[in-house]
Amino acid sequence: MRVLLTAGPTYEPIDPVRFIGNHSTGKMGYALAEAFAEAGFSVTLVSGPSALTVAHPSIELVRVQTAEEMFRAAAAVAPEAHVWVFAAAVADYRPRTVAAEKIKKRDDGEDVLVLELIKNVDIAAMLGQTKRAEQFSVGFALETHEELAHAQGKLRRKNFDMVVLNSLRDAGAGFRHDTNKITLVEADRVTPFDLKPKADVARDIVSAILARLNAHVA
Ligand code: CTP
Ligand code: CA
């Protein structure tokens, strides 16, 4: 079985020396890659800029920078993958134009610089439209309010079979932490888990996906 994973942030260039990014470290995605490899999967890990590396021989790491690059790399693998897991923190917007030269500080007395942004491709939603009956798609949702309603909305809109909900309200969960507290949201059930190290969270997610795949085959 093959799994396609996206992980990390994306960097959207403003000019040759600047970008728009976010605080994602890629920890959850890389821990998932490891857990899937240990469970016997062939893993393609499409990762935005991250300091992390992979060791397991069953993990192929494809490094990208932008949402557009992440989309192209993921789309190339998606048809052959049985499971898709979208753990990346994809920038929702990018600068509409990328300046060819470094943008110089204004010296005309005006202190405001306006940067125009345009929506990025929604990788999970785009690929979700191509999902076949035997494929299983998992998304992440990081929410600060009305968590369950937002997660259920994403489940429907992006054709996910499962959403891993992270609540930013839980201390020690989310970006820049080694622990996470998740709730698995599916069409017919909601399963909360305790706060755990990300490696254990990854194993919980892989176990839940395997259980659903087995139920599907049975
Ligand atoms: N996602 C994606 N491509 C994007 C944006 C999001 O593949 N351009 C994926 C994420 O990897 C995640 C899921 O969609 O698995 C939900 O991401 P999230 O940012 O929570 O949802 P959005 O639809 O972008 O909504 P919002 O940021 O407004 O909550
Ligand atoms: Ca988003």
Helix (H, G, I), strand (E, B), or coil: what is residue 84? strand
The CATH H-level superfamily of 2-101+113-217 is: CoaB-like (3.40.50.10300)
> Which of 178, 167, 25, 2 has its CA nearest to residue 89?
25
Question: Any idea where the domains of the chain sit in the sequence?
Answer: 2-101+113-217
Tell me the C-alpha distance between 218 and 19, whole Å: 48
Q: What per-residue confidence (pLDDT) applies to 144?
A: 85
Give me ligand 1 centre to Cα 187, in Å.
18
147-166 pLDDT, tens digit per residue, is 999 999 999 999 999 999 98
Tell me the C-alpha distance between 83 and 186, whole Å: 15
Pocket of ligand 1 (CB under 6 A): 6, 67, 86, 88, 90, 92, 120, 122-124, 139-142, 154, 158
- Work out the burial of residue 159: count CB atoms within 10 Å of its CB; fewer than 13 is exposed, 13-18 middle, 19 or more buried: middle
Active site residue 22: yes
> Which of 180, 177, 179, 146 has its CA nearest to residue 164?
180
107-140 pLDDT, tens digit per residue, is 999 999 999 999 999 999 999 999 999 999 999 9
Tell me the C-alpha distance between 159 and 179, whole Å: 28
